[in-house]
Amino acid sequence: MPDATATATDAPSPAGLPVSCLCGHIRLTTPSRTPMGMAFCHCTACRKQSGSAFGASVYFPTDAVFGALPAETRERLAVFEHPTDSGGTMRCFFCPRCGVRIFNAAVLPDGRTLRPGVAFKAGVIDEGLDWQAEGWKHIWTKSAVVKLQEGWECFEKGAPPPPIPPKEEGQ
Ligand SMILES: [Zn+2]
Ligand SMILES: [Zn+2]
């Protein structure tokens, strides 16, 4: 009988997913290969930002994202801020050369605390993201411009926040 416990514990920490902008000025790696949530977002900000019908976001733990971000990359990223519906601020990190949005980090209304999940724009991930995985949600569908399809898991506003995974060994 295979020892599942030993396999899980002995497996090396998987590397993250490679991310790059359109021009290659920004390159980084997500803190792990599996996001803690995935959503197609139909909010107005995602529509405008993507220049398309809706945005696609995958979420990773905020502390891990900033912890894994090399200082040089952090300095290269430009930031655009806009207020959120809940009274906080969305900090939007993008490439200043080609304009591609990389990820968003929301500051809560207290003005200091970051929301526990950072939203990467799913399309900047070069390879390894499971677009066919179960669990993709459609959020902010109250402002959707496309016809909502049967079988989509839809939320009029944001989805309830995903559970924060336990910290991995060595992090
Ligand atoms: Zn770029
Ligand atoms: Zn959105």
Determine the distance separating the centroid of ligand 2 and the alpha carbon of 68, expressed in angstroms.
Answer: 24
Share of the chain above pLDDT 90, in %: 80
Rounded distance between C-alpha atoms, residue 62 and residue 111, angstroms: 16
Residue 10 Cα to ligand 2 middle (Å): 38
Helix (H/G/I), strand (E/B), else coil: 72 = helix
CB 32 within 8 A of CB 128: no
- Name which of 29, 28, 56 is nearest 43 in CA terms: 56
- 110-157 pLDDT, tens digit per residue, is 999 999 999 999 999 999 999 999 999 999 999 999 999 999 999 999
pLDDT band at 86 (very low <50, low <70, confident <90, very high): confident
Residue 15, pLDDT score? 86
- CATH architecture of the domain 26-124 equals Beta Complex (2.170)
Q: Which of 129, 137, 52, 69 is nearest to 105 (CA)?
A: 69
* Ligand 2 centroid from CA 31, angstroms: 22
pLDDT confidence of residue 6: 45
Residue 41 CA to ligand 2 center (angstroms) comes to 4
Q: Which two tokens stand for residue 119?
A: 């939203």
Q: What is the DSSP letter of 51?
A: T
- Kindly tell me if the per-residue pLDDT of 27 is higher than 80: yes
From the CA of 27, how far away is ligand 1's center (Å)? 9
Report residue 14's pLDDT band, with 50, 70 and 90 as the boundaries: low
Rounded Cα–Cα distance for residues 95 and 4 (Å): 42
Question: Would you list the domain boundaries of the chain?
Answer: 26-124
